[in-house]
Structure 1
């Protein structure tokens, strides 16, 4: 039972990691904490359903459609709603994302109510047995995709010139503009990438959790807890925090009470903020220049 709980926790934590990475990438490149990221997660899954039910597209075509739509939506949100606030206090930008979160959730409820809809797994097949641990092929896909994303983003920000430029531009936007860097374009693209990451996570986990308008809120608090535990702005920290949270939830649910699973993320946030506010691998970030 212990091994099964650990492995299932790692799979769940892998999904949290993809969501937390999307938020962390945006934070590193814009210093904005995006509270509507959970709705990107939700809309990615709904976009696949819409493409399948209304247009009759294949699963693969629906996924491409969903990812493209969320990328464009992220870019549009930055251009129309966030860019006018770029010189405003951070709290104004955060409140804009909160308002957008409720707006997107309200729109989805208007069209779908509170109905829960199924989404078929990306891959089928028989369960995979590894000793006493049983995994579904969908679980293996989730873990593998998460691993690929982790290494991809780590390489991009640490090893490529573009990744280093994006980080530099977020820390000193005026200086970056003076040397010819198109800071608004970089921010716009990072909003698109962040939305795309949220959508990808939603598509991966939807076959396990089903699709409903409030699914993003539950994922947002877990991603936020993962970032808090690992440290805001730290890519490895976001992953470590997400995997730790996933395992903690499973162990607490398996050995203590399943009713405590829903509050584990909140407990993690409280404890970390009291004991080590910067998180495990956190780094203090300066305000925008």
Structure 2
């Protein structure tokens, strides 16, 4: 039972890691904490569901449409709503993302109400047995995709000139602009990438959780918990935090009570902030006296 709970927790934790990774990439490149990232997650799932059910598209085209659409939505949000506030206090930027969260959720409710819709798995087939551990093909796909995305993110920020430019532009935007770097364009692209990454997480987990307008709120909390646990701004921390959270949730639900699954993320946030505010892999920064 222990091995099964851990493996299942890793599969769910990979989705949390992907959500946290998208939020971390945006935070590293723009210093903005995005409270509407959960709605990018939700819209990504709906953007696959609608073409599948109403237009008769195949899964491949629907998935490509969803990722491209959310990339465009992320860019539009940055260009039309966030950029005009670039010189405003951070609280104004945060409140804008909160408002967007409710707006996107309201749009989804307008068309679907509180209806819960099933999304077919991306990878169907019989479960795979590893001794006493059972893995569904969808869970194996989730872990494989997340591994590829994580590796690509690390290579981008650590090994490519563009990744280093993005980080430099986030730390000293004025200096980057004076050096000829198009900082607004970089921020625009990072918003698009973050939204697409949120959509990918929604697409991967939707066959297991079903699709409904409020699905993003639950995942947003888990993404924040993963970032808090791993360390804000840390790419390795986002991955470690997400997988650790998934395993802890499964173990708490399996050995103590299933009711603990819903509150584990909140408990993790409280404990980490009290004991190690910088997270497992984050750097300590004291901004308040």
TM bucket (normalised to shorter chain) is over 0.9
Contact kept? 1:20, 1:224, Cα under 8 Å: yes
How far apart are the structure 1 equivalents of 2:168 and 2:90? 18
Contact kept? 2:29, 2:167, Cα under 8 Å: yes
How far apart are the structure 2 equivalents of 1:79 and 1:134? 46
**1:115 matches 2:121:** no
Cα deviation, 1:87-132, whole Å, max 9, x if unaligned, reads 1111110110000000100110011000000000001111000011
**1:233 matches 2:229:** no
Q: How does 1:1-289 map to 2 (within 5 A)?
A: 1-284=1-284
Cα deviation, 1:231-271, whole Å, max 9, x if unaligned, reads 00000000000010000000000000000110000000000
**What's the offset of the Cα at 1:51?**
1.1
Contact kept? 1:4, 1:133, Cα under 8 Å: yes
Contact kept? 1:21, 1:239, Cα under 8 Å: yes
CA RMSD, 1 decimal: 1.0
How far apart are the structure 2 equivalents of 1:176 and 1:138? 43
How far apart are the structure 2 equivalents of 1:60 and 1:43? 17
Cα deviation, 1:185-204, whole Å, max 9, x if unaligned, reads 00000000000000000000
How many residues are paired up? 287
How far apart are the structure 2 equivalents of 1:91 and 1:133? 46
Contact kept? 2:278, 2:285, Cα under 8 Å: no
TM-score, normalised with respect to structure 1? 0.98
**What's the offset of the Cα at 1:53?**
2.2
Unmatched segments (≥5 aa) in structure 2: none
Q: Name the SS of the counterpart of 1:134 in structure 2.
A: strand
Identify which range, 274-283 or 219-228, moves more after superposition: 274-283
How far apart are the structure 2 equivalents of 1:259 and 1:285? 35
Q: Name the SS of the counterpart of 2:263 in structure 1.
A: helix
Contact kept? 1:171, 1:286, Cα under 8 Å: no
**What's the offset of the Cα at 1:286?**
9.6
Contact kept? 1:105, 1:213, Cα under 8 Å: yes
TM-score, normalised with respect to structure 2? 0.98
Q: Name the SS of the counterpart of 1:228 in structure 2.
A: helix
Unmatched segments (≥5 aa) in structure 1: none
How far apart are the structure 2 equivalents of 1:121 and 1:187? 33
